[in-house]
Amino acid sequence: MNSADQHPEPVVVTITGCTKEDAHAVFEVLRHSYECDRAAGDRPEYVSAAHPTVWTATFDVRPGTARTGPVRLTDAVEAEMQGGYWAVDRMTETLAAAFDVQRRGTAAGDQEKDVQLRLVSRAG
């Protein structure tokens, strides 16, 4: 049994380049699968129209079955995830069940990795 089977692993998710509704849709997919540091009713809001908005939440990724179906977005969403290798890979699988996921970049460290993704609605 590895350490991922014994305790949750935090993954920080940052979302940019989208509407607050699309950011909310992505966070809701993740909230249905993992515990979040944000309250259930917390919704992304714009802080200033003059500057780009970045939304961030931390999720505890646990072993198990995360199930979700396709979710519609109005446009592409840029997402970045940072955490342990197993947890980031698991979260990427969860997102791939809801969206078409395009990997934009990866930075790997000794214990963690950082993955940049572009999420779009599934075709069809």
Residues 62-75: tens digit of each pLDDT: 876 666 788 999 99
- Nearest-angstrom CA–CA distance, 117 and 103: 5
Q: What are residue 94's phi and psi, to 5 degrees?
A: -65, -45
Which positions of the chain have pLDDT values less than 50?
1-4
Give the domain ranges of the chain: 3-120
